[in-house]
Structure 1
Amino acid sequence: MGTIKELKFIDEKIYETEINTLKVYYIPKKGFTKSYAILTSDYGSKDVEFSVDGGVSFRKYPDGIAHFLEHKVFEMPDGENVFNRFTELGASVNAFTNNHQTSYYFSTTDHFLPNLKLLLKMVFTPHLTDENVEKEKGIIAEEIKMYDDHPGFRGYIEAMKALYHIHPVKEDIAGSVNSIYSLTAKDLIECYEAFYNPRNMILVLVGDLDITEFEEVIKENVEPGLPLTLVKKEYLEPEESVKKESVLEMNLQVPNYIYGVKVRRTGNDLLKDTLVGSMAMKLIFGSTSRFYEENIQNGRINDSFSSEISLEEDHGEVFIGGESRDPEMVLNLIEEYIESIKKDKEFFRKMESDLKRIKKAMTGKFVNIFNSVDRIGVSTTGLLLHGEDLFSYVEKIKNISINDVEIKFYEIFSKDRSTKVTIK
């Protein structure tokens, strides 16, 4: 028997239940023709060192193994081409791996239950042999090499390596060619058994669906997971960055630049921290900020300029970047502006009205998510993985003050935790 929570001001609900140890969340969208399902393992590229005996002993696996496993899950033991089968059932299927999760999803306007059955069968029926693992290595190695000429991606990895000493988040999600060729079928099986336990996964469904029908499909196609003794490695990452400056030579016509900061987590409310951090970045470097408007007008930056913040339980980063023929000038400009704010004790007091506007825009953006089954599924999954309540999002936005934003600014920006990367 599940429970129902309501977000009354936009008339949305979420149904929560557990079936054979798998946590299931359903967001009903009455009258929608399209439906969506996303099945997620709490297993990302950074989870390369873990214990399956409750923390007694740990083993480290090759970088990129979570992404490699994502590829292999699509291979069925009976040789069935699962992509063709989803297409025959009128669905579009795909998957992704990031630092903290691996997700498999499909959307369809018809045959939702057969597609859900196929998704569960695919994910919970591993086919990992020495032969098919060796064959996949060449495919993934070529995928890795494809990004060698991508300045944005290369710059991001360079910045992460300049920020982090030991945390595996500094490595490419796909790993390296060397790390991929070092892994074995046995490694993949061990990681699959550790992380693809239904107790370590969540299933989010969105659409105009019959609860009784999809619950029956799940019961029939998911075996209860064994008790979990899984413990992920925790990393004592030094506070300061590895390098304050880094130059990457790529023979670009117009150089790129990245100003990066390793963010120190201080609070115990990740969603609030993320929202406050996002507001701080919009106020200081967003497209309506004083910095952006002044420097776009005088030509020091162009419309490639962007800023973002990403916070997770055990790491966080700010990146500010773009293209410029004088990247060193822009990097110094960014750093000087940050330091000028620290000297201006009234800066945030003058931003009260801007904060109200930003909060209103963020609330509107959240409400708009509910017009798309895909966006509902992805956003809900991200919040649930972090133990957050989907329907607390708007309330938390509402309760954030300019004082919260000011405190977060000083927590985020420190020269000791920063780096300047130029891609030429």
Structure 2
Amino acid sequence: MLLCQTTITSVERLEALSRLRFSNRIRALEIYSELECRLPKSLRYGPSLDTTKSPCIGTTLSESDVRNLFSAIFRRLPNLKSITLRAPPKLEGMADKLCYPVISTSNPLAMGIMGFRPELSRPYPPKHTHIMHALPIYRVMHALVDTIRLAPQQLEEFRVVGFGLKWQTWLLGTPKSLFEAISPALRGLTSLNLELDMATLKTDAYMLALVKLINTNANLQALALSVGDQGIDKYQNRNESWAPLLQLLGGSPPFRLRSLHINGLVTSTTAPTLARIINVHSSTIHRIVLKNTNFHYPNTIRAFFTACANSAVSYYETENFYFHERTMIVGRYLADDILEYDNAELHEDVNNNHCDSDASCHDWVKVNWDSFEKEDKWKLVFENEQGQKRRSYMYDNFMNVVEMVKEGTLRDS
């Protein structure tokens, strides 16, 4: 994979590489959006605050640079199959959250200017409020999307990653406008990965646009969707914004998925259940990853895990799986060790009484919960992708959860 930043130096270097003979071997390109603060460091980190309120954040590429250079690059990369657009990170000392819009409007393109407070927790924060003139940066990003749309290649993989914050997504316009602009280049797509602020708490417009993007694509095998920091933070709140996508996946889609990865999913009371979706794709699906999921009725644990058990899934992972708006499913296992040596400290009972002198202290069994890393606290993972475990490993693990429901250990209503 080649990595290119949105700076004139980096793009010109890529353009030169595209003229070489080995350009036929380039199959993947990652375009890393780069912003910069144009103020001199003496003002940026000086003793006094800069209160000019003039834009300081920009990109070194112009709209015409993007159209001319990237159009030529794509023409010279005949075997390019994968393109990744990576979001611009926050600048040094810049807080992620939007401080203020100069113009208050729901239309991000009319936003004009955005300001970001310094991040005071940093050791050397800037002494001024970063000001971004969003429209010129949007035009650069739109030109990039437009050149991808007009590229002669038929892409197999398209990734838009890291646009989890509202201000980052605004630089692309809206998810709906992005999907509409890029759709001609994605008709034969096998893998789609989107990390965007999809505003799932407010509207289903973006899900409807996503459905329109993929509902005629018979080649799609991998779908990954993360709905942005705000949507993920609020995943425990019910809404029906996901219904259009769930209806497609659990209906009669023209594709059969091998991988499904969703972060921030809220299930629906009207759309097909996750069990139904797994059943539709059961013969092909190998990976399921669900993070920050609101799993509620009519979805049931029994039906979902039964569907997974009867599918081709060889990797299953959930994290923050909030079911029936009551609790989380986590992974914990009992561990036991046979103690084959005489150690009185290990053989004390709760009253601190040692073994009787005539009793054998050998072959005691020590039982405890397996320890987990702190970051894995709310995870559940079943994995047999390499086929190293017994053939029934995945089935047995899924059905163990079903048995817990039958026995009343898990309340499924």
Fold-level match, TM-score > 0.5?
no
Bucket of the pairwise TM-score, normalised by the shorter protein: under 0.3
TM-score for the superposition, normalised by structure 2? 0.24
Structure possessing the higher relative contact order (Cα contacts under 8 Å, 6 or more residues apart): 1
Structure that is richer in helix per residue: 1
TM-score when scaled to structure 1? 0.24
User: Based on CA coordinates, which of the two structures has the bigger radius of gyration?
Assistant: 2
